[in-house]
């Protein structure tokens, strides 16, 4: 897992094991029996100076296509800056999102990274339809600076945005559950099901839009890692968004 010298991080570690889903032993489709969509990313970056002059993207932001787009985007206005970074390490199945905003009121820094994964049977292997994989997840995270900074990680089945199976967040203002917390830490078990596509969505929002303070610095990051237990590697195969391997830095 990457460590960020300046930014805090969220660590997400998944250890996988099988779980029975009843007595029925129906033979499933050989892997791959589903198509995993490509990863998507976007940046909305605005940097403002002390005179209220701003440089940056439109409200729609910068839609990133991997490849060929770079995974780091920076907007500068004089010595003020808004920067967002998306990382992916295919050898570790690890990813991270980070943002750093340094500027005056009106500055914003929004980073969104969404990618997909699923579990199927390896070539030549068949098994129970809907078999489950048990995951132990450990997470921690933190945001700092700014009147309304937040970082959130969510996992949910594709097309079921409201059916969240994991979510947590950190924020410098009121969080979605009504609390105020600048960091979080979790350890829990989840179940992922064979032949189902899941979404990992990471969102960072740093905003000085409502700030009356002078120049402000805010930062946040999210850093998930998914690790497959080698003991079940012969039973299930992990498949991720196909365009992540070429993801490169600036």
Tell me the per-residue pLDDT of 147-168, one tens digit each, with 9 for 90 and over: 889 999 899 999 999 999 999 8
Q: Which pLDDT belongs to residue 30? A: 45
Q: How far apart are CA 1 and CA 188, in angstroms?
A: 19
Helix, strand, or coil (residue 82): strand
Q: What is the pLDDT of residues 43-58, one digit of tens each?
A: 999 999 988 899 998 7
Helix, strand, or coil (residue 230): helix
Taking all residues of the chain, what is their mean pLDDT, rounded to a whole number?
77
- Contact indicator for 130, 191 with CB cutoff of 8 Å: no
Quickly tell me which residue has 């079921």 as its tokens: 160
> Residue 31 pLDDT > 50, yes or no?
no
Lowest mean pLDDT among 50-54, 157-161, 189-193, 204-208: 189-193
Does the model's pTM come out above 0.75?
yes
Q: Which pLDDT belongs to residue 93? A: 67
Q: Give which of 171, 249, 226 is closest to 204, Cα–Cα.
A: 171
Cα Rg of the chain (Å, integer):
20
Specify the pairing of strand 80-89 against strand 72-77.
Answer: antiparallel
Confidence bin at 111 (pLDDT 50/70/90): very high
């Amino acid at each position: 897992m990457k460590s960020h010298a300046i930014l805090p991080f969220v660590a997400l570690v998944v250890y996988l094991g099988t779980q029975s889903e009843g007595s029925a032993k129906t033979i499933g489709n050989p892997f791959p029996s589903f198509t995993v969509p490509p990863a998507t990313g976007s940046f909305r970056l605005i940097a403002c100076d002390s005179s209220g002059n701003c440089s940056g993207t439109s409200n729609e932001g910068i839609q990133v296509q991997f490849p060929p787009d770079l995974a780091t985007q920076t907007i500068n206005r004089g010595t003020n800056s808004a920067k967002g970074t998306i990382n992916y390490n295919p050898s570790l199945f690890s990813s991270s999102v980070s943002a750093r905003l340094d500027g005056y009121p009106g500055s914003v820094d929004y980073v969104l990274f969404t990618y997909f994964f699923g579990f199927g049977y390896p070539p030549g292997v068949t098994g129970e339809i809907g078999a489950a994989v048990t995951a132990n997840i450990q997470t921690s995270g933190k945001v700092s600076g700014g009147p309304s900074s937040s970082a959130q990680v969510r996992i949910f089945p594709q097309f079921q945005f409201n059916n969240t199976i994991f979510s947590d967040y950190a924020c410098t203002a009121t969080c979605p559950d009504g609390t105020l917390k600048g960091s979080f830490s979790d350890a829990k078990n989840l179940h992922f099901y064979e032949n189902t596509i899941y979404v990992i969505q990471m969102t960072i929002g740093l905003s000085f839009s409502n700030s009356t303070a002078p120049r402000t610095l805010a930062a946040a990051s999210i850093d998930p890692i998914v690790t497959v237990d080698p003991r079940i590697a012969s039973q299930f195969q992990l498949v991720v968004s196909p365009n992540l391997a070429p993801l490169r830095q600036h």
